Amino acid sequence: MAADMRLPTIRKPVSISAFDRKDLVVPGDVITSDTGFMRGHGTYVDEDKLTASVAGEVQRVDKLICVRPLKTRFNGEVGDVVVGRITEVQQKRWKVETNSRLDSVLLLSSVNLPGGEIPELRRRSAEDELTMREYLQEGDLISAEVQSVFSDGALSLHTRSLKYGKLGQGVLVQLSPSLIKRQKTHFHNLPCGASIILGNNGFVWLYPTPGQQEEEAGGFYTSLEPVNLSDREVISRLRNCLLALAAHKVLLYDTSVLYCYESSLQHQVKDILKPEVMEEIVMLTQQKLFEQEG
């Protein structure tokens, strides 16, 4: 049996005082004793003091204070970008696993079917309903947007834009939704040669940056061409960088992922997840982020 043995090495001293987080709390921590604030989710009042009831990040919106849990299921909002897996094909709808408490729903009327017609004018016929498995079947991965939220908390998705639809060859990384930073766009073509979809639900999709895509495919075009070795190595490195950042609770967005990728280039892909290498890479990433913000 192969064993991985490592000798002690001199580690670079890195100051972490600049990265102390004062907005992180654990249950029982007093957030504020000011009675002018309103109590939000994840808080309770104890002896006129607003106290945290969950471990997470304190968020203030005007006079409302709430605590966003660091580890939780995905609570979707309208407009959120999600990556999900088809779990069931039902009548005029697909059930999708999106890391939320209930399976999400993708209606047949909410997808951009192949054919090239304007989606809003494309009538869904009985033939479309019979051929639903030709578009999406159990196990397929998709990118979609939250269209609405049902009264029971389940999400209704849509893939009407050409940037959404069935995903082809790539790697899925499942992380905590609280680590994904909300941005205007969650689709990024990184300069290292790979692309990334940062789903608000914690599912991150890594794939080779595509060339020209046929618009007639309606979001269901998936390339089955073999991925070359250099692209596979870049995707594997990005995957390990995501796991390293997530292990140290660093917010994930295009800049942090790219800085982490650049910091990891001096190490082999397989070494990135070693504890001491992971810590060094994450520290360098945090320093770059701090310098950029400063």
43 falls within a domain? yes
Residue 122: band (very low, low, confident or very high) from pLDDT cuts 50, 70, 90: low
Asked whether the predicted pLDDT for residue 282 surpasses 50, the reply is: yes
Angle at 176 between CA 149 and CA 251, to 5 degrees: 105
49 falls within a domain? yes
294 or 174, higher pLDDT? 174
Asked whether the predicted pLDDT for residue 155 surpasses 90, the reply is: yes
CA 271 – CA 104 distance, rounded (Å): 37
Q: What pLDDT does 81 receive?
A: 95
54 falls within a domain? yes
Q: What pLDDT does 221 receive?
A: 55
Q: What pLDDT does 215 receive?
A: 45
| Of the candidates 115, 284, 79, the residue with the CA atom closest to the CA atom of residue 214 | 115
Q: Are 128 and 117 in contact, with CB atoms under 8 Å apart? A: no
59 falls within a domain? yes
Q: What pLDDT does 12 receive?
A: 59
- Buried residues in 212-232 as b, exposed as e (16+ CB within 10 A): eeeeebbbbbeeeeebeeebb
177 falls within a domain? no
111 falls within a domain? no
| Domain range enclosing 43 | 24-69
Average pLDDT, the chain: 85
Residue 140: band (very low, low, confident or very high) from pLDDT cuts 50, 70, 90: very high
Q: Number of folded domains in the chain?
A: 1
32 falls within a domain? yes
Q: Are 158 and 144 in contact, with CB atoms under 8 Å apart? A: yes
Asked whether the predicted pLDDT for residue 239 surpasses 60, the reply is: yes
CATH of the domain at 50: 2.40.50.100
Residue 22: band (very low, low, confident or very high) from pLDDT cuts 50, 70, 90: low
CA 150 – CA 104 distance, rounded (Å): 10
237 falls within a domain? no
Q: What pLDDT does 86 receive?
A: 95
